Structure 1
Amino acid sequence: MNLQLTGHHLEITPALREYVLSKFSRISNHFDHVIDVKVTMSVEKLAQKVEATLHVPGNDLHATCSDENMYSAIDMLTDKLDRQVLKHKEKHGDHHKSGGAVKHQLSS
C-alpha cells in the first residue's frame, strides 16, 4: 500500500505520520488490494480537516472528516473508510462460492 500524506497549513510530524500509518493498516487488513492512499490534512480556523482517497481495483473511495482534534478526525475518517471498504468488498466478492449448496438442497 502506497501512502501519500500532505499537509495544508500544517506540518506533518513523525508522530502524526505513524498514527495515520497505524490506523490505515487496519483497512489494509480487511482488504488486501488497496493500491494507493492519498491523505490530505488541513487546518481551517478552529477545525482540523482530514481527507483521504483510496484507490482500489474497480473504484476510488473518498471520505472527509473534520473535528477540533486532528487525531479524532483521523479516527472518524478511518472508521468511515473502513465501512466503505467492507461494502466494496461485499459488492465485488465472489458470488459463486455458495451456488452448489443451494442446488444440492433443491435436488434433495
Structure 2
Amino acid sequence: MNLTISGHHLEVTPAIREYVQNKLERITRHFDHVIDTHVFLAIDNLTEKEKRQKAEINLSVSGKKLHVASAAQDLYAAIDTLMDRLDRQVLKHKSMLQDHNHVAHKRMPDNGEAAAAA
C-alpha cells in the first residue's frame, strides 16, 4: 500500500503521521486489497471556530476509489471521524464484492413446486 500524507497550512509532524498510520491499520485489517492511499490534512482560517480542522482521504481499492472527508475542532478528532467513515465504506465495498454469489432465478424453486413436494 502506498501512503501519502500531505498538509495544507499545516506541518505534518511524525506524531500525526504515526497516528494516521495506526488508524489505517484497522482499514487494512478489514480489507487488504488497498492499492494507494492519499491523506490530506488542512487547517482553514475561518471565522467559525468549531470546524477548522479538516481531514480527507482518497483510497484506491481494486476497481474503485473511495473518498471520505471530515471536519472537527481538533485534528485528531477529525482523523478519528474520518477513519470511522472510511471503515464503514470499506466494509460496505467488501460485502458488495462478496454478495455476487446469489442463486439464479431459473434455479430457484417455484412456490407451486415447493408445495407439491411437501
Smaller-chain TM-score range?
A: 0.7 to 0.9
Q: Percent identity?
A: 50
Task: Tell me the alpha carbon deviations over residues 6-59 of structure 1, each in whole angstroms, 9 at most, x when there is no partner.
Answer: 000000000000000000110000001000100000000240000100000111
2-structure distance, mates of 1:74, 1:21: 11
Q: Structure 1 residue 18 and structure 2 residue 18: aligned?
A: yes
Give the CA RMSD over aligned residues: 2.0
Count of aligned residue pairs for this structure pair: 103
Equivalent residues in 2 for 1:46-57 (5 A)?
Answer: 46=49, 47-57=52-62
The code of the aligned residue for 2:88 comes to R
Q: What stretches of structure 1 of length at least 5 have no aligned partner?
A: none
Structure 1: which 4+ aligned runs deviate by more than 4 Å? Answer: none
TM-superposed CA distance for 1:2, in Å, is: 1.1
**Normalising by the residue count of structure 1, what TM-score does the alignment of the two structures yield?**
0.87
Provide the TM-score with structure 2 as the length reference: 0.80
Q: Offset of 1:94 from its aligned partner?
A: 5.6
Equivalent residue number for residue 35 of structure 2: 35
